[in-house]
Chain A
Amino acid sequence: MRISLINGSPKVNNSASSMLLEDLAGCLGENAEIVDFGFHSPTISKEVVEELEKTEAWVFLCPLYVDSIPGHLLSCLIQLEEAHIHNPELHIYGIVNCGFYEGIQAEFALKLLQNWCLKTDFIWGGGIGVGGGGGLAMMPKLESGHGPRAPIEKGLAELADIILKKEVQKNKYVSVAFPRCLYKMAAQLGWRQMIKKNGGKVKDLRKTWE
């Protein structure tokens, strides 16, 4: 089975989407031939569309931007709709990661992908909203079923199984197994470190433009 894994993050490297993509690829294992695509800008080439057409399932992975999918990815989806690909057997899946703790905040980004499937006549196979995506890079990979990434790994393994069987699941929402208050503290500490590294002061974080 040929499966397209589509990284819809604007970042070419080191994104939470690329980490989730690698983990999902690991879950799909040798049972699938994986074709990687990077939708990092608002346009996709004709060649990319042709390559996508040769696969049986597409999995979109992207960050949550203002309660939805990023604008550049939306632009790519419109191009794909306008390509008028006729494949009523094509299964579409989505994984949206949020900087917020609660995966449920990705609900409408997944809904948008689902609505896109209605327009394109593809099959919406379901997705996962991942909460706490901002911390994934800092969280160690431990033995399967353990550590803060465990709920996400479980969700990805279940989705991989669904994809391989060309089945459909309801959208699921997961969060990192890490206390929300500590996640919040760690993120806020991170912003302070970043602004200092850029030569600014902590108080600049609240700068306003009147």
Chain B
Amino acid sequence: MKLIITDIENFNIPVRGEQKVIKPNGSIRHCIGCFGCWVKTPGRCVLHDGYEETGGDMGKCTELILVSRCCYGGVSPFVKMVQDRAISYIHPDFVMRKGEMHHKRRYKNIITLSLHLYGENITDIEKETARELLKANADNYDSLVKGVYFYKSVEELEDVVL
């Protein structure tokens, strides 16, 4: 299953195969740093606003596709808040990976990550940050990078098939 997290409310970009799309639907609450998703309701966020199950969704997907406005080389606040609320995809315990401390896996699936960023004036520095950031995400999720793609507008994105 492809899991798409996007800030595009009227998301109509074609996606090949089985999919789940997480997009703005009412207001999202931001992560409050309580670690409840690890030590109260393990695997699920304790905030109930419709976005609490993303960690579990990530455990079922083969691909995680982030489609977002580019904000300083990262994703937009909505997409980031969904990501922040989904840290239950990983286990709180630590492991060493590439000489650094990261979290242990909770699920066995190996996710392939891709990042599609749109925006009028994405600079080369932002593009570089985005590429490095996705690699860092892949290390933390113990996953693989498929690619990082840039578009000048949402309309340009509508020509691709995810």
- Which residue from B39, B44, B84 sits with its C-beta under 8 Å from A65? B84
B123 located at the interface, meaning its Cβ lies under 8 Å from any Cβ of chain A in the complex:
yes
Number of interface residues of B (CB under 8 A): 48
Beta-carbon contact of A204 and B77 below 8 Å:
no
Q: Which listed residue, B42, B44, B76, B129, touches A115 by the CB 8 Å rule?
A: B129
Q: Which A residues touch B74, using CB under 8 A? A: 68, 74, 108, 112
Whether A108 contacts B42 in the complex (CB less than 8 A), given A42-B30, A72-B77, comes out as: no
Closest CB of chain B to A96's CB: distance in Å? 13
Whether B39 and A205, one on each chain, are in contact in the complex, defined by CB atoms closer than 8 angstroms, is yes
Does the CB pair A118–B123 fall under 8 Å? yes
* Residues of chain A with a CB closer than 8 A to B83's CB: 65-66, 71
Complex interface bits, B120-136 against A, C-beta within 8 A gives 1, otherwise 0: 00010110010011001
State whether the Cβ of A187 lies closer than 8 Å to any Cβ in chain B: yes
B39: A residues at CB distance < 8 A:
191, 194-195, 198, 200, 205
Inside 8 A of B107's CB, which chain A residues have their CB?
208
A100 cross-chain contacts in B, Cβ below 8 A? 94, 100-102
B residues lining the A interface (CB < 8 Å): 30-33, 35, 38-40, 42-44, 53, 55-56, 59-60, 71-74, 76-84, 87, 91-94, 100-102, 106-107, 123, 125-126, 129, 132-133, 136-137, 140
